Protein backbone atom coordinates (compact mmCIF):
# COMPACT_ATOMS: atom_id res chain seq x y z
CA UNK A 1 0.00 0.00 0.00
CA UNK A 2 2.68 2.41 1.06
CA UNK A 3 4.75 1.44 -1.92
CA UNK A 4 1.77 1.95 -4.22
CA UNK A 5 1.14 5.45 -2.83
CA UNK A 6 4.76 6.37 -3.40
CA UNK A 7 4.48 5.15 -6.95
CA UNK A 8 1.40 7.32 -7.49
CA UNK A 9 3.12 10.32 -6.03
CA UNK A 10 6.12 9.80 -8.25
CA UNK A 11 3.86 9.58 -11.27
CA UNK A 12 1.98 12.69 -10.16
CA UNK A 13 5.18 14.71 -9.83
CA UNK A 14 6.40 13.34 -13.10
CA UNK A 15 3.22 14.41 -14.91
CA UNK A 16 2.85 17.77 -13.15
CA UNK A 17 6.54 18.39 -13.74
CA UNK A 18 6.06 17.71 -17.42
CA UNK A 19 2.95 19.92 -17.54
CA UNK A 20 4.81 22.70 -15.81
CA UNK A 21 7.68 22.34 -18.24
CA UNK A 22 5.28 22.40 -21.16
CA UNK A 23 3.53 25.45 -19.71
CA UNK A 24 6.83 27.29 -19.27
CA UNK A 25 7.74 26.31 -22.81
CA UNK A 26 4.43 27.64 -24.23
CA UNK A 27 4.57 30.81 -22.17
CA UNK A 28 8.18 31.40 -23.21
CA UNK A 29 7.30 31.23 -26.91
CA UNK A 30 4.11 33.23 -26.45
CA UNK A 31 5.93 36.02 -24.61
CA UNK A 32 8.81 35.83 -27.05
CA UNK A 33 6.50 36.22 -30.05
CA UNK A 34 4.90 39.27 -28.43
CA UNK A 35 8.20 40.82 -27.38
CA UNK A 36 10.02 40.24 -30.66
CA UNK A 37 11.47 43.31 -32.35
CA UNK A 38 9.20 43.82 -35.34
CA UNK A 39 11.57 46.22 -37.05
CA UNK A 40 15.07 45.17 -36.00
CA UNK A 41 17.68 47.79 -36.73
CA UNK A 42 15.11 50.36 -37.85
CA UNK A 43 16.23 53.95 -37.56
CA UNK A 44 14.35 56.93 -38.94
CA UNK A 45 17.38 59.12 -38.23
CA UNK A 46 17.76 62.10 -40.55
CA UNK A 47 19.58 65.39 -40.57
CA UNK A 48 18.81 67.76 -43.37
CA UNK A 49 20.13 71.28 -43.55
CA UNK A 50 18.06 73.67 -45.58
CA UNK A 51 19.71 75.39 -48.50
CA UNK A 52 18.76 78.84 -49.73
CA UNK A 53 15.10 79.70 -49.28
CA UNK A 54 13.15 78.48 -52.27
CA UNK A 55 9.58 78.33 -53.51
CA UNK A 56 7.33 75.93 -51.70
CA UNK A 57 4.84 73.40 -53.00
CA UNK A 58 2.08 72.06 -50.80
CA UNK A 59 -0.70 69.57 -51.26
CA UNK A 60 -3.60 68.39 -49.11
CA UNK A 61 -5.91 65.38 -49.13
CA UNK A 62 -8.46 63.68 -46.90
CA UNK A 63 -9.46 60.02 -47.01
CA UNK A 64 -12.03 58.52 -44.64
CA UNK A 65 -11.01 55.93 -42.05
CA UNK A 66 -14.53 55.39 -40.76
CA UNK A 67 -15.11 51.84 -39.48
CA UNK A 68 -18.08 49.74 -40.53
CA UNK A 69 -20.64 49.83 -37.76
CA UNK A 70 -24.19 48.49 -38.07
CA UNK A 71 -26.91 50.88 -36.94
CA UNK A 72 -27.76 48.68 -34.00
CA UNK A 73 -26.04 45.67 -32.54
CA UNK A 74 -28.28 42.64 -32.33
CA UNK A 75 -27.52 40.07 -29.69
CA UNK A 76 -28.02 36.31 -29.88
CA UNK A 77 -31.71 36.63 -28.97
CA UNK A 78 -32.34 39.09 -31.77
CA UNK A 79 -32.73 42.01 -29.39
CA UNK A 80 -31.26 45.34 -30.31
CA UNK A 81 -28.71 46.28 -27.72
CA UNK A 82 -27.28 49.63 -26.87
CA UNK A 83 -24.08 47.99 -25.82
CA UNK A 84 -23.34 44.35 -26.62
CA UNK A 85 -22.73 42.26 -23.58
CA UNK A 86 -22.19 38.53 -23.99
CA UNK A 87 -20.42 36.92 -26.87
CA UNK A 88 -18.02 38.43 -29.29
CA UNK A 89 -19.97 38.50 -32.52
CA UNK A 90 -23.21 40.14 -33.53
CA UNK A 91 -25.31 40.37 -36.66
CA UNK A 92 -26.58 43.63 -38.10
CA UNK A 93 -30.18 44.86 -37.83
CA UNK A 94 -31.31 42.77 -40.83
CA UNK A 95 -29.73 39.63 -39.54
CA UNK A 96 -27.00 39.90 -42.16
CA UNK A 97 -23.36 39.24 -41.61
CA UNK A 98 -21.46 38.73 -38.45
CA UNK A 99 -19.42 41.50 -36.98
CA UNK A 100 -16.96 41.86 -34.20
CA UNK A 101 -18.00 44.85 -32.14
CA UNK A 102 -16.03 48.00 -32.83
CA UNK A 103 -14.58 48.77 -29.42
CA UNK A 104 -14.32 52.49 -28.81
CA UNK A 105 -11.02 53.70 -27.38
CA UNK A 106 -10.69 55.94 -24.34
CA UNK A 107 -12.50 55.73 -20.99
CA UNK A 108 -13.36 52.16 -19.94
CA UNK A 109 -13.39 48.72 -21.55
CA UNK A 110 -16.39 47.30 -23.35
CA UNK A 111 -17.76 50.40 -25.08
CA UNK A 112 -19.03 49.10 -28.40
CA UNK A 113 -19.82 51.49 -31.23
CA UNK A 114 -23.49 51.75 -32.02
CA UNK A 115 -23.39 53.85 -35.19
CA UNK A 116 -21.56 56.62 -37.02
CA UNK A 117 -22.06 60.31 -36.26
CA UNK A 118 -19.40 61.73 -38.56
CA UNK A 119 -16.60 60.31 -40.65
CA UNK A 120 -13.13 59.72 -39.27
CA UNK A 121 -10.28 60.86 -41.51
CA UNK A 122 -6.67 60.45 -42.56
CA UNK A 123 -5.83 64.04 -43.51
CA UNK A 124 -2.51 64.86 -45.07
CA UNK A 125 -0.47 67.98 -45.71
CA UNK A 126 2.62 67.64 -47.89
CA UNK A 127 5.19 70.41 -48.07
CA UNK A 128 8.22 70.54 -50.35
CA UNK A 129 11.04 73.07 -50.69
CA UNK A 130 12.49 71.48 -53.84
CA UNK A 131 14.94 69.45 -51.78
CA UNK A 132 12.99 67.97 -48.89
CA UNK A 133 9.44 66.67 -49.03
CA UNK A 134 7.63 66.34 -45.70
CA UNK A 135 4.32 64.57 -45.25
CA UNK A 136 2.14 65.15 -42.20
CA UNK A 137 -0.69 62.64 -41.87
CA UNK A 138 -3.18 63.20 -39.06
CA UNK A 139 -5.51 60.36 -38.16
CA UNK A 140 -8.78 60.67 -36.26
CA UNK A 141 -7.55 57.93 -33.96
CA UNK A 142 -6.64 57.37 -30.34
CA UNK A 143 -3.06 56.88 -31.55
CA UNK A 144 -1.03 54.27 -33.39
CA UNK A 145 2.12 52.50 -32.27
CA UNK A 146 5.53 53.23 -33.77
CA UNK A 147 5.68 49.75 -35.37
CA UNK A 148 2.48 50.54 -37.27
CA UNK A 149 3.87 53.93 -38.30
CA UNK A 150 6.92 52.16 -39.71
CA UNK A 151 4.62 49.71 -41.49
CA UNK A 152 2.77 52.61 -43.17
CA UNK A 153 6.08 54.21 -44.20
CA UNK A 154 7.22 50.92 -45.75
CA UNK A 155 4.11 50.92 -47.94
CA UNK A 156 4.65 54.41 -49.36
CA UNK A 157 5.75 54.04 -53.00
CA UNK A 158 9.13 55.50 -53.86
CA UNK A 159 7.60 57.73 -56.53
CA UNK A 160 5.89 59.72 -53.76
CA UNK A 161 9.33 61.23 -53.22
CA UNK A 162 8.69 61.75 -49.51
CA UNK A 163 11.74 62.40 -47.35
CA UNK A 164 9.97 61.96 -44.02
CA UNK A 165 6.41 61.03 -43.04
CA UNK A 166 4.90 62.06 -39.73
CA UNK A 167 1.79 60.19 -38.61
CA UNK A 168 0.04 61.97 -35.77
CA UNK A 169 -3.32 61.23 -34.16
CA UNK A 170 -5.97 63.62 -32.91
CA UNK A 171 -6.49 61.22 -29.96
CA UNK A 172 -10.27 61.25 -30.32
CA UNK A 173 -11.82 59.17 -27.54
CA UNK A 174 -14.77 58.31 -29.79
CA UNK A 175 -12.92 56.21 -32.40
CA UNK A 176 -11.98 52.50 -32.64
CA UNK A 177 -9.28 51.11 -30.37
CA UNK A 178 -5.95 50.93 -32.21
CA UNK A 179 -3.79 50.46 -29.11
CA UNK A 180 -5.36 47.42 -27.46
CA UNK A 181 -6.40 48.88 -24.11
CA UNK A 182 -10.16 49.12 -24.58
CA UNK A 183 -11.37 45.67 -25.63
CA UNK A 184 -14.12 43.53 -24.16
CA UNK A 185 -12.12 43.18 -20.97
CA UNK A 186 -8.78 44.57 -19.86
CA UNK A 187 -7.24 41.22 -20.79
CA UNK A 188 -8.54 41.35 -24.37
CA UNK A 189 -7.19 43.68 -27.01
CA UNK A 190 -9.81 45.91 -28.60
CA UNK A 191 -7.86 46.18 -31.85
CA UNK A 192 -9.54 44.84 -34.94
CA UNK A 193 -6.64 43.90 -37.25
CA UNK A 194 -8.76 44.38 -40.38
CA UNK A 195 -9.67 47.92 -39.34
CA UNK A 196 -6.04 48.75 -38.52
CA UNK A 197 -5.11 47.47 -41.98
CA UNK A 198 -7.80 49.69 -43.53
CA UNK A 199 -6.47 52.74 -41.67
CA UNK A 200 -2.98 52.04 -43.01
CA UNK A 201 -4.23 51.67 -46.60
CA UNK A 202 -6.22 54.91 -46.36
CA UNK A 203 -3.26 56.75 -44.80
CA UNK A 204 -1.09 55.85 -47.79
CA UNK A 205 -3.87 56.82 -50.22
CA UNK A 206 -4.27 60.15 -48.44
CA UNK A 207 -0.54 60.81 -48.70
CA UNK A 208 -0.40 59.88 -52.40
CA UNK A 209 -3.39 62.12 -53.16
CA UNK A 210 -1.79 65.03 -51.26
CA UNK A 211 1.40 64.57 -53.31
CA UNK A 212 -0.71 64.55 -56.47
CA UNK A 213 -2.48 67.74 -55.35
CA UNK A 214 0.74 69.68 -54.77
CA UNK A 215 0.74 73.27 -56.05
CA UNK A 216 3.14 76.19 -55.76
CA UNK A 217 2.05 77.84 -52.53
CA UNK A 218 2.76 80.53 -50.03
CA UNK A 219 2.13 80.08 -46.35
CA UNK A 220 0.06 82.47 -44.26
CA UNK A 221 1.01 82.19 -40.59
CA UNK A 222 -1.01 83.44 -37.66
CA UNK A 223 -1.80 82.61 -34.06
CA UNK A 224 -4.21 83.39 -31.24
CA UNK A 225 -2.45 82.40 -28.05
CA UNK A 226 -5.13 83.40 -25.55
CA UNK A 227 -8.61 83.23 -27.14
CA UNK A 228 -9.28 79.52 -26.64
CA UNK A 229 -8.12 79.06 -23.04
CA UNK A 230 -11.65 79.00 -21.58
CA UNK A 231 -12.50 75.95 -23.73
CA UNK A 232 -10.17 73.58 -21.89
CA UNK A 233 -9.52 72.75 -18.26
CA UNK A 234 -6.55 71.23 -16.47
CA UNK A 235 -7.58 68.43 -14.13
CA UNK A 236 -4.17 68.04 -12.47
CA UNK A 237 -1.97 70.57 -10.74
CA UNK A 238 0.00 72.61 -11.64
CA UNK A 239 -2.38 74.43 -13.95
CA UNK A 240 -0.44 74.84 -17.18
CA UNK A 241 -2.06 74.82 -20.61
CA UNK A 242 -1.04 74.57 -24.24
CA UNK A 243 -4.13 76.43 -25.38
CA UNK A 244 -2.59 78.69 -28.02
CA UNK A 245 -4.17 78.33 -31.45
CA UNK A 246 -1.49 78.17 -34.16
CA UNK A 247 -2.37 78.28 -37.82
CA UNK A 248 -0.82 77.75 -41.21
CA UNK A 249 -2.92 78.44 -44.28
CA UNK A 250 -1.43 77.38 -47.60
CA UNK A 251 -2.58 79.47 -50.56
CA UNK A 252 -2.08 78.67 -54.24
CA UNK A 253 0.48 81.20 -55.52
CA UNK A 254 -1.18 81.43 -58.93
CA UNK A 255 -4.87 81.83 -58.11
CA UNK A 256 -4.97 82.71 -54.41
CA UNK A 257 -7.21 79.75 -53.52
CA UNK A 258 -6.72 78.08 -50.16
CA UNK A 259 -5.22 74.64 -50.64
CA UNK A 260 -5.58 73.75 -47.01
CA UNK A 261 -4.78 74.69 -43.47
CA UNK A 262 -3.08 73.28 -40.41
CA UNK A 263 -4.84 74.08 -37.15
CA UNK A 264 -2.90 73.27 -33.98
CA UNK A 265 -4.41 73.37 -30.51
CA UNK A 266 -4.21 71.09 -27.45
CA UNK A 267 -7.11 69.36 -25.74
CA UNK A 268 -8.40 65.80 -25.41
CA UNK A 269 -11.09 65.26 -28.07
CA UNK A 270 -13.38 63.70 -25.50
CA UNK A 271 -16.01 66.39 -25.11
CA UNK A 272 -18.61 63.66 -25.89
CA UNK A 273 -17.25 61.75 -22.86
CA UNK A 274 -17.50 58.05 -22.02
CA UNK A 275 -21.17 57.19 -22.55
CA UNK A 276 -21.27 58.16 -26.22
CA UNK A 277 -21.35 55.14 -28.52
CA UNK A 278 -21.39 56.91 -31.88
CA UNK A 279 -18.17 57.08 -33.86
CA UNK A 280 -17.05 60.71 -34.17
CA UNK A 281 -13.90 62.79 -34.34
CA UNK A 282 -15.44 64.91 -31.53
CA UNK A 283 -14.85 68.71 -31.56
CA UNK A 284 -12.12 68.60 -34.28
CA UNK A 285 -14.91 67.66 -36.71
CA UNK A 286 -16.65 71.00 -36.13
CA UNK A 287 -13.37 72.94 -36.18
CA UNK A 288 -12.45 71.56 -39.60
CA UNK A 289 -15.97 72.02 -40.99
CA UNK A 290 -16.02 75.63 -39.76
CA UNK A 291 -12.61 76.54 -41.15
CA UNK A 292 -13.31 74.90 -44.51
CA UNK A 293 -16.98 75.72 -45.13
CA UNK A 294 -17.73 78.51 -42.69
CA UNK A 295 -19.56 78.85 -39.40
CA UNK A 296 -23.36 78.70 -39.59
CA UNK A 297 -26.26 79.61 -37.36
CA UNK A 298 -28.78 77.04 -38.55
CA UNK A 299 -28.78 77.59 -42.33
CA UNK A 300 -27.42 81.14 -42.13
CA UNK A 301 -23.75 81.64 -42.86
CA UNK A 302 -22.24 83.75 -40.09
CA UNK A 303 -18.58 83.60 -41.09
CA UNK A 304 -17.35 82.25 -44.44
CA UNK A 305 -14.72 79.54 -44.41
CA UNK A 306 -11.43 79.63 -46.28
CA UNK A 307 -12.01 76.44 -48.30
CA UNK A 308 -9.39 73.78 -48.92
CA UNK A 309 -8.77 70.85 -46.59
CA UNK A 310 -8.36 71.57 -42.88
CA UNK A 311 -6.01 69.40 -40.85
CA UNK A 312 -6.47 69.51 -37.06
CA UNK A 313 -3.44 68.69 -34.96
CA UNK A 314 -3.18 68.16 -31.19
CA UNK A 315 -0.31 69.50 -29.07
CA UNK A 316 0.56 68.99 -25.39
CA UNK A 317 -2.60 67.38 -24.03
CA UNK A 318 -1.21 65.57 -20.98
CA UNK A 319 -1.62 66.57 -17.41
CA UNK A 320 -4.66 66.64 -18.27
CA UNK A 321 -6.17 68.90 -20.92
CA UNK A 322 -9.86 68.19 -21.27
CA UNK A 323 -13.27 69.73 -21.83
CA UNK A 324 -14.64 67.98 -18.77
CA UNK A 325 -18.44 67.63 -18.29
CA UNK A 326 -18.13 70.21 -15.51
CA UNK A 327 -16.83 72.84 -17.97
CA UNK A 328 -19.60 74.80 -19.68
CA UNK A 329 -19.14 75.78 -23.33
CA UNK A 330 -21.12 78.55 -25.02
CA UNK A 331 -22.39 78.52 -28.56
CA UNK A 332 -20.59 81.61 -29.94
CA UNK A 333 -23.61 82.74 -31.96
CA UNK A 334 -26.70 81.98 -29.88
CA UNK A 335 -24.98 82.29 -26.51
CA UNK A 336 -26.61 79.05 -25.38
CA UNK A 337 -24.53 77.26 -22.78
CA UNK A 338 -23.84 73.51 -22.79
CA UNK A 339 -22.42 71.55 -19.90
CA UNK A 340 -23.52 67.94 -20.30
CA UNK A 341 -21.45 65.99 -22.82
CA UNK A 342 -23.53 66.24 -26.01
CA UNK A 343 -22.95 66.79 -29.71
CA UNK A 344 -24.34 70.31 -29.21
CA UNK A 345 -21.52 70.98 -26.76
CA UNK A 346 -18.83 69.57 -29.09
CA UNK A 347 -20.32 71.66 -31.91
CA UNK A 348 -20.32 74.83 -29.80
CA UNK A 349 -16.69 74.21 -28.91
CA UNK A 350 -15.76 73.52 -32.54
CA UNK A 351 -17.56 76.67 -33.70
CA UNK A 352 -15.74 78.81 -31.14
CA UNK A 353 -12.39 77.41 -32.26
CA UNK A 354 -13.25 77.78 -35.95
CA UNK A 355 -14.28 81.42 -35.44
CA UNK A 356 -11.06 82.17 -33.55
CA UNK A 357 -9.06 80.47 -36.31
CA UNK A 358 -10.86 82.32 -39.12
CA UNK A 359 -10.45 85.68 -37.38
CA UNK A 360 -6.79 84.99 -36.72
CA UNK A 361 -6.28 84.08 -40.39
CA UNK A 362 -7.49 87.60 -41.28
CA UNK A 363 -5.46 89.55 -38.74
CA UNK A 364 -1.72 90.04 -38.43
CA UNK A 365 -0.84 87.32 -40.87
CA UNK A 366 2.78 86.75 -41.79
CA UNK A 367 3.35 85.62 -45.36
CA UNK A 368 6.07 83.19 -46.31
CA UNK A 369 6.77 83.06 -50.05
CA UNK A 370 10.03 81.17 -49.94
CA UNK A 371 11.59 79.01 -47.25
CA UNK A 372 13.89 76.07 -46.72
CA UNK A 373 13.13 72.95 -44.66
CA UNK A 374 15.61 71.82 -42.01
CA UNK A 375 14.90 68.52 -40.30
CA UNK A 376 16.35 66.32 -37.59
CA UNK A 377 14.86 62.92 -36.72
CA UNK A 378 16.00 60.50 -34.04
CA UNK A 379 14.89 56.97 -33.26
CA UNK A 380 15.47 56.10 -29.61
CA UNK A 381 14.50 53.51 -27.05
CA UNK A 382 12.65 54.08 -23.79
CA UNK A 383 12.48 51.70 -20.82
CA UNK A 384 9.06 50.19 -20.04
CA UNK A 385 9.07 50.76 -16.27
CA UNK A 386 5.32 50.47 -15.73
CA UNK A 387 4.49 46.89 -14.59
CA UNK A 388 1.02 46.89 -16.17
CA UNK A 389 2.53 48.03 -19.49
CA UNK A 390 5.18 45.28 -19.21
CA UNK A 391 2.49 42.63 -18.78
CA UNK A 392 0.35 44.16 -21.55
CA UNK A 393 3.35 44.01 -23.87
CA UNK A 394 4.19 40.41 -22.88
CA UNK A 395 0.69 39.07 -23.39
CA UNK A 396 0.19 40.97 -26.62
CA UNK A 397 -2.47 43.47 -25.46
CA UNK A 398 -0.23 46.19 -26.86
CA UNK A 399 0.21 45.46 -30.55
CA UNK A 400 3.89 46.35 -30.57
CA UNK A 401 7.12 44.49 -30.10
CA UNK A 402 10.07 45.55 -28.03
CA UNK A 403 13.57 46.71 -28.86
CA UNK A 404 15.72 45.12 -26.18
CA UNK A 405 14.50 43.75 -22.85
CA UNK A 406 11.48 45.85 -21.79
CA UNK A 407 12.46 48.70 -24.04
CA UNK A 408 10.44 50.14 -26.85
CA UNK A 409 11.50 51.96 -29.96
CA UNK A 410 10.09 55.42 -30.46
CA UNK A 411 10.87 58.60 -32.32
CA UNK A 412 11.34 62.36 -32.03
CA UNK A 413 11.62 64.93 -34.78
CA UNK A 414 12.21 68.67 -35.00
CA UNK A 415 12.06 70.81 -38.12
CA UNK A 416 11.82 74.34 -39.36
CA UNK A 417 10.09 75.84 -42.38
CA UNK A 418 11.22 79.45 -42.59
CA UNK A 419 10.11 81.22 -39.36
CA UNK A 420 8.10 78.21 -38.16
CA UNK A 421 9.52 75.47 -35.98
CA UNK A 422 7.98 72.13 -35.11
CA UNK A 423 8.65 69.42 -32.54
CA UNK A 424 6.94 66.04 -32.62
CA UNK A 425 6.49 63.99 -29.45
CA UNK A 426 5.45 60.33 -29.31
CA UNK A 427 2.77 60.69 -26.63
CA UNK A 428 0.75 62.96 -24.36
CA UNK A 429 3.25 65.43 -23.00
CA UNK A 430 2.46 67.55 -19.96
CA UNK A 431 2.24 71.22 -21.05
CA UNK A 432 4.73 72.20 -18.30
CA UNK A 433 7.48 70.46 -20.26
CA UNK A 434 6.56 72.41 -23.39
CA UNK A 435 5.67 75.84 -22.01
CA UNK A 436 7.44 75.96 -18.64
CA UNK A 437 6.02 75.85 -15.13
CA UNK A 438 7.23 72.42 -13.96
CA UNK A 439 7.02 72.18 -10.17
CA UNK A 440 8.82 70.10 -7.57
CA UNK A 441 5.96 69.94 -5.05
CA UNK A 442 6.12 68.57 -1.52
CA UNK A 443 5.03 64.93 -1.49
CA UNK A 444 6.73 64.09 -4.78
CA UNK A 445 8.28 60.63 -5.12
CA UNK A 446 11.75 61.76 -6.17
CA UNK A 447 13.49 64.37 -4.07
CA UNK A 448 14.83 66.17 -7.10
CA UNK A 449 14.40 69.62 -8.58
CA UNK A 450 12.86 70.29 -12.01
CA UNK A 451 14.62 68.11 -14.60
CA UNK A 452 12.99 68.96 -17.95
CA UNK A 453 14.20 72.55 -18.14
CA UNK A 454 14.43 74.87 -20.00
CA UNK A 455 11.02 74.41 -21.58
CA UNK A 456 10.87 73.00 -25.10
CA UNK A 457 9.37 76.19 -26.55
CA UNK A 458 12.20 78.22 -25.00
CA UNK A 459 14.72 76.21 -27.00
CA UNK A 460 12.66 76.03 -30.21
CA UNK A 461 13.91 78.41 -32.88
CA UNK A 462 11.72 80.66 -35.00
CA UNK A 463 8.67 82.78 -34.29
CA UNK A 464 5.84 80.25 -34.59
CA UNK A 465 6.32 77.10 -32.53
CA UNK A 466 4.17 74.07 -33.26
CA UNK A 467 4.00 70.97 -31.05
CA UNK A 468 2.70 67.72 -32.52
CA UNK A 469 1.60 65.34 -29.76
CA UNK A 470 0.91 61.62 -30.24
CA UNK A 471 3.08 61.78 -33.34
CA UNK A 472 4.65 58.63 -34.79
CA UNK A 473 3.69 56.70 -31.64
CA UNK A 474 1.49 56.71 -28.55
CA UNK A 475 3.51 55.87 -25.47
CA UNK A 476 1.07 57.47 -22.99
CA UNK A 477 1.72 60.36 -20.61
CA UNK A 478 5.06 62.15 -20.53
CA UNK A 479 5.19 63.40 -16.92
CA UNK A 480 7.81 65.74 -15.40
CA UNK A 481 9.91 63.56 -13.10
CA UNK A 482 9.72 66.06 -10.21
CA UNK A 483 5.91 65.79 -10.34
CA UNK A 484 5.87 61.96 -10.37
CA UNK A 485 3.61 60.83 -7.55
CA UNK A 486 2.49 57.27 -6.85
CA UNK A 487 3.63 57.04 -3.21
CA UNK A 488 2.19 58.74 -0.11
CA UNK A 489 2.40 61.45 1.04
CA UNK A 490 0.82 62.89 -2.07
CA UNK A 491 1.49 66.18 -3.80
CA UNK A 492 -0.75 69.22 -3.40
CA UNK A 493 -2.19 67.66 -0.21
CA UNK A 494 -4.02 65.04 -2.28
CA UNK A 495 -5.58 62.01 -0.58
CA UNK A 496 -4.47 59.63 -3.31
CA UNK A 497 -2.08 59.40 -6.21
CA UNK A 498 -3.10 61.79 -9.01
CA UNK A 499 -4.25 60.35 -12.34
CA UNK A 500 -1.58 59.93 -15.00
CA UNK A 501 1.25 57.68 -13.80
CA UNK A 502 -0.69 54.46 -14.52
CA UNK A 503 -0.79 55.42 -18.19
CA UNK A 504 2.87 56.39 -18.47
CA UNK A 505 5.90 54.26 -19.36
CA UNK A 506 7.53 55.47 -16.15
CA UNK A 507 9.33 58.33 -14.41
CA UNK A 508 12.38 57.98 -16.67
CA UNK A 509 10.49 58.85 -19.87
CA UNK A 510 10.23 62.65 -19.69
CA UNK A 511 13.91 63.29 -18.79
CA UNK A 512 15.11 61.11 -21.69
CA UNK A 513 12.79 62.72 -24.24
CA UNK A 514 13.59 66.23 -23.01
CA UNK A 515 17.33 65.58 -23.20
CA UNK A 516 17.02 64.31 -26.78
CA UNK A 517 14.78 67.20 -27.82
CA UNK A 518 17.13 69.71 -26.27
CA UNK A 519 20.12 68.33 -28.17
CA UNK A 520 18.14 68.10 -31.42
CA UNK A 521 16.80 71.64 -31.16
CA UNK A 522 20.24 73.07 -30.45
CA UNK A 523 21.55 71.14 -33.45
CA UNK A 524 18.64 72.42 -35.56
CA UNK A 525 19.41 76.00 -34.61
CA UNK A 526 23.04 75.46 -35.53
CA UNK A 527 22.12 73.98 -38.91
CA UNK A 528 20.11 77.11 -39.65
CA UNK A 529 23.10 79.21 -38.61
CA UNK A 530 25.46 77.20 -40.81
CA UNK A 531 23.04 77.41 -43.73
CA UNK A 532 22.77 81.17 -43.41
CA UNK A 533 26.50 81.57 -43.03
CA UNK A 534 27.19 79.51 -46.13
CA UNK A 535 24.84 81.67 -48.15
ZN1 LIG B 1 -5.16 60.85 -23.42
pLDDT at 206: 98
Range name among 46-50, 111-115, 387-391, 418-422 with the lowest pLDDT average: 111-115
pLDDT at 73: 57
Q: Rounded to the nearest whole angstrom, what is the distance from the C-alpha of residue 171 to the centroid of ligand 1?
A: 7
Write out pLDDT tens, residues 193-232. 999 999 999 999 999 999 999 999 999 999 999 999 999 9
pLDDT at 409 over 60: yes
Distance CA 371, CA 55 (A): 7
pLDDT at 534 over 50: no
Greater confidence (76 vs 518) lies with: 518
Q: Rounded to the nearest whole angstrom, what is the distance from the C-alpha of residue 268 to the centroid of ligand 1?
A: 6
Q: What percent of the chain has pLDDT over 90?
A: 80
Who contacts 256 (Cβ-Cβ below 8 Å, separation ≥6)? none
Q: Rounded to the nearest whole angstrom, what is the distance from the C-alpha of residue 472 to the centroid of ligand 1?
A: 15
Q: Rounded to the nearest whole angstrom, what is the distance from the C-alpha of residue 138 to the centroid of ligand 1?
A: 16
Q: Rounded to the nearest whole angstrom, what is the distance from the C-alpha of residue 25 to the centroid of ligand 1?
A: 37
Report residue 82's pLDDT band, with 50, 70 and 90 as the boundaries: very low
Q: Rounded to the nearest whole angstrom, what is the distance from the C-alpha of residue 477 to the centroid of ligand 1?
A: 7
Distance CA 39, CA 41 (A): 6
Range name among 111-125, 232-246, 376-390 with the lowest pLDDT average: 111-125
Write out pLDDT tens, residues 145-175. 999 999 999 999 999 999 999 999 999 999 9
Q: Rounded to the nearest whole angstrom, what is the distance from the C-alpha of residue 318 to the centroid of ligand 1?
A: 7
Who contacts 345 (Cβ-Cβ below 8 Å, separation ≥6)? 271, 323, 329, 338, 339
Greater confidence (512 vs 34) lies with: 512
CA-CA distances (angstroms) from residue 120 to 64, 83, 139, 145, 166? 6, 21, 8, 18, 18
Q: Rounded to the nearest whole angstrom, what is the distance from the C-alpha of residue 488 to the centroid of ligand 1?
A: 25
Please give the mean pLDDT across all residues of the chain.
Answer: 92
Q: Rounded to the nearest whole angstrom, what is the distance from the C-alpha of residue 321 to the centroid of ligand 1?
A: 8
Report residue 87's pLDDT band, with 50, 70 and 90 as the boundaries: very low
Q: Rounded to the nearest whole angstrom, what is the distance from the C-alpha of residue 63 to the centroid of ligand 1?
A: 24
pLDDT at 75 over 90: no
Write out pLDDT tens, residues 291-306. 999 999 999 999 999 9
Whether residue 104 contacts residue 72, with contact meaning beta carbons closer than 8 Å, is answered with no
Q: Rounded to the nearest whole angstrom, what is the distance from the C-alpha of residue 52 to the centroid of ligand 1?
A: 40
Amino acid sequence: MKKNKLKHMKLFFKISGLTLLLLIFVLFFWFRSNLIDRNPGYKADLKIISGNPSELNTGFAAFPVTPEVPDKWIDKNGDAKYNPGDGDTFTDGNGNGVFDPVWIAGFGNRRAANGIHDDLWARTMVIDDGKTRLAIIVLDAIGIMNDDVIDVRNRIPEEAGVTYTIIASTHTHESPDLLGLWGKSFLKSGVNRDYLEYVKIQAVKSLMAAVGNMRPARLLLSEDLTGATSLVMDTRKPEVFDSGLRLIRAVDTENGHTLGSLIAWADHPETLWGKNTLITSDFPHYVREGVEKGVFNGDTLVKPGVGGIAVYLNGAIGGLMTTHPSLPVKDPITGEEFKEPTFEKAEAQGKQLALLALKSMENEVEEVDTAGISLIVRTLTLPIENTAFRIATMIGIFPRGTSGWMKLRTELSVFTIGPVSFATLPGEVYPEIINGGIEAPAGRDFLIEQVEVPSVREIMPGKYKFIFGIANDEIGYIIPQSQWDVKAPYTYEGKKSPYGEENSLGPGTAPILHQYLREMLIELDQTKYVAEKVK
